[in-house]
Amino acid sequence: MLARLAAAAITTATRLLTGARTIWMAPPPPGLQRVYFANHSSHGDFVLLWSSLEPHERVRTRPVAGADYWNGDPLRRFIGQRVFRAVLVDRNPATRTADPIEQMLEAIDADDSLILFPEGTRNLTEERLLPFKAGLWHVGRRRPALNLVPVWIDNLNRVMPKGELLPAPLLCTVRFGEPLHVEEGEPKDTFLHRAREALLALAPEQDDR
């Protein structure tokens, strides 16, 4: 019950703070599993994306996030594990005891959808996107029926800029694109280029980066 109340409070606060406008360029059929892959410029990105989903999709969608952050204290551990049901991965190969790809596949095989940031870290540069890591390709290759949905999050880096304690109330947009699939035999670099271009195609012509 406490987790459900916390989820409702977080969703409501996020929508009020950002005035989030959700745009589906090509809504996929309901009920299909998805991996939402998005640009990453703010620590609030997955919260906004998660809050933008319909309730029946939100309850089955789990963000992939760093265990080092979300296990940092009891409050974050509760929110990460109980509210968002995050797939927590160890980002340090030297201390890692579980394969992040296998962790994601385990969640997918349990009929969950995922939120993934293929840049791997927050983009604080002037470039619109950092190079993509290979995780999206690995997951799509091993589960080719998955709908890989590009999502562009616009303006959230100004709502929650790095180093600021309090967010600034500004309007944000979350654009969902047409689903992609990894084609049989498609090389990693070819797919990642295609996925990156699909994500960039959703970005506004001018943004505030």
109 has a pLDDT exceeding 60: yes
Quickly state the pLDDT bin for 5 (edges 50, 70, 90): very high
123 against 192, higher pLDDT: 192
Which pLDDT value is given to residue 209? 46
Which pLDDT value is given to residue 42? 80
107-112 mean pLDDT? 96
77 has a pLDDT exceeding 60: yes
Distance, C-alpha 149 to centroid of its chain: 10
Which pLDDT value is given to residue 208? 47
| Low-confidence winner among 1-5, 57-61, 130-134 (lowest mean pLDDT) | 1-5
Most confident residue range from 29-43, 68-82, 101-115, 170-184: 101-115
94 has a pLDDT exceeding 90: no
Instruction: Report d(CA 54, CA 39) in Å as an integer.
Output: 20
Instruction: Report d(CA 154, CA 174) in Å as an integer.
Output: 6
178-196 mean pLDDT? 97
Distance, C-alpha 138 to centroid of its chain: 16
Nearest to 47 by CA among 153, 130, 139: 153
pLDDT single digits (tens) 110-162: 999 999 999 988 888 888 999 999 999 999 999 999 999 999 998 655 555 55
Instruction: Report d(CA 116, CA 39) in Å as an integer.
Output: 9
The domains of the chain, with CATH numbers, are: 2-200 (3.40.1130.10)
Give this prediction's pTM.
0.88
Which pLDDT value is given to residue 157? 53
198 against 125, higher pLDDT: 198
Query: H or E segment at 107?
Result: helix 100-109
Q: Judge contact between 98 and 90, C-beta under 8 A.
A: yes
Tokens of 101: 């790809």
From the CB of residue 204, how many other CB atoms can be counted at a distance below 10 Å? 11
pLDDT single digits (tens) 13-58: 888 877 788 999 987 777 789 999 999 988 788 899 999 999 999 9
Residue-averaged pLDDT of the chain: 88
